[in-house]
Amino acid sequence: MTSPSALSQLKTLTTVVADTGDFERMREFQPQDATTNPSLILKAAQQSNYQALVRSVKQAHPDIKPTALVDYILVAFGLEILQIVPGRVSTEVDARLSFDTNATIAKARHLIELYESHGIDRKRVLIKLAATWEGIAAAKELESQGIHCNVTLLFSLIQAAASGAANATLISPFVGRITDWYKAKLGSNWSDVNHGGANDPSVSSVRRIFHYYKHFGIKTEIMGASFRNTSQILELAGCDLLTISPELLAELQSSNAPIEKKLNAANAQAALQAEGIAPLKLDESSFRLQLNNDAMATEKLAEGIRNFCIDTEKLEALLQE
């Protein structure tokens, strides 16, 4: 009898989400949910098999400028994805609004209206917002209106704690980008033996957030994201959700290695005590200071917003053509 694939085993421990705008590749992995972002949609929109979809959106809205047309493209991909996954799709607000709470709220409402105009229940859509103070404030207001949010570009416990206090439906700690930062920082001193696996600083970061949420009874879901390898994924088996690229999903599908649950809520109190972690102060000035004092989180948040802005502008240019 053939052993179940690593992917099948992982699905018994964690909700598996597809991290791609390439909805044709999703079918083979049967994920519960799917996530997109401007970079993933740009990549998909440039592929020949999605040209017809892009053209149809442009033809349906001939008088709309590219900046506004991007929203229709994002939703068009989301609608296709929702025909494949039984759960939710995450659609991102324009990253250029990351420091404007009111504009973020308006954009989120617009995206939800577009989905609802196609008969999609808002419960099946997560609006992605950057984990800035302004983005988290927008998430709090949107959640109070029944618009569910995925707080993304999240690299630190303070961002996670503030998102939980805002009653965000879900957060996306970015695993691989944390590893990238520490690898660059350590340079030749980085060792996969000493700094990989369970000791990977990105794995430690998500584990800390998991323990904080579970110990303090925070209901917000945790979805590890932006993985660089399957080792990072397997070290977070037991996390609420994990969003994984098609390439890494394929790698897990082709493996029959046994998988064990690594994250357990029963360990939360002891883990926090061992690290000396108490409830964090979450007013605006405390949030900004704690984030500022975390060089990695500050730099990766800024970099992530910049890159999403660049790719949104590239998508606009593509639509202009």
- The pLDDT, as a whole number, for residue 1 is 61
> Which CATH number does the domain 6-320 belong to among 3.40.50.1110, 3.40.228.10, 3.40.50.1820, 3.20.20.70?
3.20.20.70
Q: Are 93 and 142 in contact (CB under 8 A)?
A: no
State yes or no: pLDDT of 26 exceeds 80: yes
Of 99, 121, 102, the closest CA to residue 112 belongs to 121
Of 268, 297, 90, 76, the closest CA to residue 180 belongs to 297
**Consecutive H or E run containing 56:** helix 51-60
In the DSSP assignment, the letter for residue 239 is: S
What are the structure tokens assigned to 218, written together?
């925070």
State yes or no: pLDDT of 2 exceeds 90: no
Tracing tokens 């998430």 back to the chain, one arrives at 139
Structure confidence at residue 321 as a pLDDT band (50, 70, 90): confident
Tell me the pLDDT tens digit for each residue of 109-164.
Answer: 999 999 999 999 999 999 999 999 999 999 999 999 999 999 999 999 999 999 99
Evaluate the CA torsion angle 28, 210, 90, 184 in order and state its sign: negative
The predicted model gives 70-90 an average pLDDT of: 96
Mean pLDDT across the chain, nearest whole number? Answer: 96
Please list the active-site residues: 128
Tell me the pLDDT tens digit for each residue of 29-42.
Answer: 999 999 999 999 99
Rounded Cα gap, residues 4 and 146, in angstroms: 39
Q: Is the pTM of this model over 0.85?
A: yes
**How do the domains of the chain map onto residue ranges?**
6-320
Q: Are 60 and 80 in contact (CB under 8 A)?
A: no
